[in-house]
Structure 1
């Protein structure tokens, strides 16, 4: 399987360069990730150069996920969690606004929700790698309060982690007709920002473990 791995930073890429996959550093955020993925896809004149696009790296875990630093999460869905409109106390997603993210290539009907499907092998990968399996959220602004974390958990029940690139990679993959996956090692809890609680080496090790399982490296 030909795999493109998109990571936000050079520090995340550093431990992955020896894997049998192409690793691209996109920069931070869904737009940067989508552009980097699309550039890699479009750099080949004939045919799709990859079978799977992966957004990988470290991320925060939501309080109700049960995940701790050093744990691994694999996506069941990739959700652009802040794409919509705030209407007083209520958040309205694109479907409620009558808008669409992009046309669905298979059905020629618009997709009104920023919920992206994932690779069919995702759940089996989670089992094989000992990872949690569930929805993973993409936001443009990192959550910094307990109240905001709880709000997102109520809106997206079962959400495991928060990152800033997954939906961008998934968007590029879907437009190209390819499957996508998000895989994150947990570095910190989502909520009040306490950098003393971050465990980045453990999160990077978990990320690599998941990618090794994906690539069938023992």
Structure 2
């Protein structure tokens, strides 16, 4: 992708600061803390895209990882960004927007750039992989919900709350969208005492340094 400016959207200020440190305030990137949740992320991204021109948008931050798929302190680069709870529950199971003929609940990320980004991050000594990252309105807090999500989306590697909102806005402006997540905890029963937030932010900082080689 030709050099211009890339918009990076985090949820909270701690993520914003970690990404900025990793980029060393490189002039080719604008980093914003867009707020927590799909709606805040979508609105903040759309506002930013009306104010300047960007060659790509990246949703970045920490996240929960699916235990069988990821490790704490690793990085997931999205191959797809899913709005995982957009749809309807039925007696036959969950119907997503596609099955309901109501729209799109997932966005495909450019596979060549996704692989390049994953490689760039791995070259910094981090464990990195590609896979689906789910966006949910509420963070999963039970083993049963985690199991249901893993069964419904076997390719899911991580769960966060903003990526799909960022993706919706980016697609409306016809700008490629990506997502990277540093794994701070496992998806499932809420156990904040064992979350590795400080460590995940340090990994996010390292991973962000790799963005400069891709965009």
Fold match, TM over 0.5? yes
Please say if residues 120 and 213 of structure 2, whose CA atoms lie closer than 8 Å, have aligned partners that are also in contact.
no
Cα deviation for residue 165 of structure 1 reads 0.3
1:40 maps onto 2:48 in alignment: yes
Cα deviation for residue 26 of structure 1 reads 1.0
Cα deviation for residue 89 of structure 1 reads 5.9
Return the match for 2:118 from 91, 115, 126.
Answer: 126
Cα deviation for residue 123 of structure 1 reads 1.2
Residue in structure 2 matched with residue 109 of structure 1 by the alignment: none
Residue in structure 1 matched with residue 96 of structure 2 by the alignment: 93
Cα deviation for residue 69 of structure 1 reads 1.8
Residue in structure 2 matched with residue 52 of structure 1 by the alignment: 56
Return the match for 2:75 from 72, 75, 97.
Answer: 72
Matches within 5 A, 1:163-182: 163-182=160-179
Cα deviation for residue 41 of structure 1 reads 0.8
Cα deviation for residue 201 of structure 1 reads 1.5
Cα offsets for 1:121-180 (capped at 9, x unmatched): 011211221211111100001001111111101111121100000001111111111101
Residue in structure 1 matched with residue 25 of structure 2 by the alignment: 19
Residue in structure 2 matched with residue 116 of structure 1 by the alignment: 107
SS in 2 for 1:160: strand
Matches within 5 A, 1:130-141: 130=122, 131-141=128-138
Q: How many residues align?
A: 200
User: d(CA) in 2 for partners of 1:42 and 1:147?
Assistant: 41
Cα deviation for residue 16 of structure 1 reads 2.7
1:3 maps onto 2:6 in alignment: yes
User: d(CA) in 2 for partners of 1:159 and 1:76?
Assistant: 10
Cα deviation for residue 12 of structure 1 reads 1.1
Residue in structure 2 matched with residue 62 of structure 1 by the alignment: 66
**Alpha-carbon RMSD:** 1.5
1:213 maps onto 2:210 in alignment: yes
Return the match for 1:185 from 160, 182, 185.
Answer: 182
Q: Which runs of 5+ in 2 are unaligned?
A: 123-127
User: d(CA) in 2 for partners of 1:16 and 1:159?
Assistant: 24
1:161 maps onto 2:158 in alignment: yes
